[in-house]
Structure 1
Amino acid sequence: MYLHEDETMRIERALGQAVKSAERIQGRGYTNNRRWIVRLAHDRTAFVKHADDAVTAEWLRREYEVYDALRLDVVPRVLGWHDDGELPVLVLEDLSDGDWSPPWSRGKIDAVLATLRAVAGHAAPPGLPTARSTHMGEDNWPEVAADPKLFLSLGLCSADWLDRALPVLLEAARPERLDGDSLLHLDVRSDNLCFRAGRAFLFDWNHAAVGNAQFDVAFWLPSLRLEGGPEPEEVADVPPELAALVAGFFAARAGLPVIPQAPMVRDIQRRQLEVALPWAARALGLPAPA
């Protein structure tokens, strides 16, 4: 696909070399970033992520800062970066020849768990926010309790069930459950994972934070189940409080208006809530949502 002159200029400045050709990537990721696989001299390739507006530009700057600080063999290598103050460009190792899930297998699930252990064991780059201070620590179930109309409009439970369950959910999902000193990705799902040589590579790091070492696993489990994987409790022994936090995150957001910069997010949040809400109920000993 044809690159505009300004796009070519930014990419070549990031790489320090000429781009021979480019193929636009469609259907990957939920944000409006522009994505390409570019071909360089000597038949080498690279993955390019180009911001599309001021919001995605800020996300991409945060992502680059994390990549630049990580020393993990389960993240793609940074090949280039250019920021003209308007629309930055990040160039990464091309993993497009890897294996992208779904479908899921036990080997892939184990590879993701190994990667998340490696991430949690890596020193967190300085300056990262705490998980509690991010969107994950916002008043998720309290927001639902204060105004349950949007949540109930999703049709996943009755008002009677919610009234009975809320005291337990509110107590379990207190924001301090997120506290810890481990590096967290905070957005683990199949769109951000690629498999190569038995390892799971994790990318899209703009939400990275510091917190409870088990939270990345907990957040991933509903999407894994949604894509044909096992039930969450069959994959990992996650504290019930984290299941409640994950369910609360989706419960407070799935019914909100579409995000212009990430138009697919609300739909996928609703689908993940379909898994996360019953999981939290089981984990906390509550009746099934009805």
Structure 2
Amino acid sequence: MNARHEALAEGVARCLGQRLLRWRPVSRGYSPALRLIVSCADGTSVFVKAATDTRTAAWLRTEYGVYSQVHGGFLPTMRAWVDDPCAPILVLEDLSGAVWQTPWTTSRITRVLDTLRQVAATPAPAWLPRLEERRSSLSGWAQVMREPEPFLQVGLCSAAWLSNSINALVAAETRAQLNGDDLVHGDVRSDNLCFLGDRVVLVDWNWACRGNGMIDIAGWLPTLHLEGGPPPDTLLPAQPHLAATISGYFAARAGLPVEHASSEIRALQVAQLRVALAWAVRALGLPPSDGSYSQAASNKGMEPPP
């Protein structure tokens, strides 16, 4: 693997018209894409993301389309693009000196919210898919209704609670407004954003689409609360349909076998589900869920992220 990294770093330096000084791998990120920081002899450095399979190749081409056609301070600067048919390479500004996953203050939360509103107000390329086209994958409670056992195994509620609440949850997510012409990032979490001077920069645009930009705010709020921020309904009150949609997304995935995703992703999804489900319960006026996450986590050998 080091030989492949070395060859990739050398190729990127040549693409930039520079001589390679050094490179290092980057561990951040949940996808199998290959990531490097490449430093050149002129003192500049760049972030490199290279495809490793057909799925990451498609994701990188989506990101390239966004970086090449959308303009805003919330985007990293694209330095180069290598359109290899099998393994495209995206080269961006190096953000390793930015502030990542910082302690949340009111000021920083406000800056992110302002940035997400700016993203939504930015014209979206017409080729991006519609968020509405993803409604089936966002209808998590409907999936839980059809196959409840994976969700119940997480341990957040009893089968009786789910039986009494599932119709309200499904009805609420069905009424969520997904249509719109806003630019949507589609995967806002603290590990996908950073603070660089007066900019809030969002990375990993492979799920970008057009739709209701409020989904980006709703999707961010569970991880924000996990990291010490306020409960979701403090920042997004009176949004029961979005609360149901976000909680349903995690409910349909958190209990699936680890072999379908990494153990880190599953642990994060369970933690997000805990927050999002409590939000949906409050927003819809449902009885509190009656499960014991700690017991289920112990039984399954799972721990929530710190």
Q: Which TM-score band applies after superposition, normalised by the shorter structure?
A: over 0.9
Q: Which residue of 2 is the match for residue 163 of structure 1?
A: 163
Distance in 2 (CA, whole Å) between partners of 1:68 and 1:261 is: 30
Distance in 2 (CA, whole Å) between partners of 1:60 and 1:137 is: 21
Deviates more, 1:11-20 or 1:214-223: 11-20
Q: Contact 2:250 / 2:269 at 8 angstroms: preserved in 1?
A: yes
Q: Which residue of 2 is the match for residue 40 of structure 1?
A: 40
Alignment of 1:1-290 (within 5 A): 4=4, 6-12=7-13, 14-26=15-27, 28-134=28-134, 137-174=137-174, 177-237=177-237, 239-258=239-258, 264-290=264-290
Q: Return the offset for 1:151.
A: 0.5
Deviates more, 1:258-267 or 1:241-250: 258-267
> Structure 1 counterpart of 2:19, which letter?
A
Q: Contact 2:73 / 2:200 at 8 angstroms: preserved in 1?
A: no
Output one character per residue of 1:106-127: Cα deviation in whole Å (capped at 9) or x when no partner: 1211111011011000001121
Q: Return the offset for 1:243.
A: 0.6
Q: Contact 1:10 / 1:89 at 8 angstroms: preserved in 2?
A: no
> Structure 1 counterpart of 2:114, which letter?
A
Any unmatched runs of 5+ in structure 2?
291-306
Q: Return the offset for 1:10.
A: 4.1
Q: Contact 1:137 / 1:175 at 8 angstroms: preserved in 2?
A: no
Go from structure 1 to structure 2 and tell me whether the alpha carbon gap of 1:238 and 1:68 turns closer, same or farther (over 3 Å shift).
farther
> Structure 2 counterpart of 1:210, which letter?
R
Q: Contact 1:31 / 1:263 at 8 angstroms: preserved in 2?
A: no
> Structure 2 counterpart of 1:169, which letter?
L
Go from structure 1 to structure 2 and tell me whether the alpha carbon gap of 1:236 and 1:176 turns closer, same or farther (over 3 Å shift).
closer
Distance in 1 (CA, whole Å) between partners of 2:21 and 2:260 is: 32
Aligned residue-pair number: 289
Go from structure 1 to structure 2 and tell me whether the alpha carbon gap of 1:115 and 1:187 turns closer, same or farther (over 3 Å shift).
same
Q: Return the offset for 1:259.
A: 5.7
Q: Contact 2:73 / 2:199 at 8 angstroms: preserved in 1?
A: no
TM-score (normalised: structure 2): 0.88
> Structure 2 counterpart of 1:146, which letter?
R
Specify the SS of the correspondent of 1:177: coil
Q: Return the offset for 1:197.
A: 1.6
Output one character per residue of 1:61-104: Cα deviation in whole Å (capped at 9) or x when no partner: 11111111111111110000102211111110111111111421
Go from structure 1 to structure 2 and tell me whether the alpha carbon gap of 1:267 and 1:157 turns closer, same or farther (over 3 Å shift).
same
Q: Contact 2:37 / 2:46 at 8 angstroms: preserved in 1?
A: yes
Q: Contact 2:18 / 2:42 at 8 angstroms: preserved in 1?
A: no
Output one character per residue of 1:175-216: Cα deviation in whole Å (capped at 9) or x when no partner: 652111111001000110010223311010000011112110
Output one character per residue of 1:45-65: Cα deviation in whole Å (capped at 9) or x when no partner: 111112222221221111111
Q: Contact 2:176 / 2:245 at 8 angstroms: preserved in 1?
A: no
TM-score (normalised: structure 1): 0.93
Distance in 1 (CA, whole Å) between partners of 2:85 and 2:60 is: 12
Q: Return the offset for 1:258.
A: 3.1
Identity rate of aligned residues, in percent?
45
RMSD value, Cα = 2.0
Output one character per residue of 1:242-277: Cα deviation in whole Å (capped at 9) or x when no partner: 010000100111112336675532221111001100
Specify the SS of the correspondent of 2:245: helix
Go from structure 1 to structure 2 and tell me whether the alpha carbon gap of 1:223 and 1:238 turns closer, same or farther (over 3 Å shift).
farther
Go from structure 1 to structure 2 and tell me whether the alpha carbon gap of 1:249 and 1:193 turns closer, same or farther (over 3 Å shift).
same
> Structure 2 counterpart of 1:289, which letter?
S
Go from structure 1 to structure 2 and tell me whether the alpha carbon gap of 1:78 and 1:262 turns closer, same or farther (over 3 Å shift).
farther
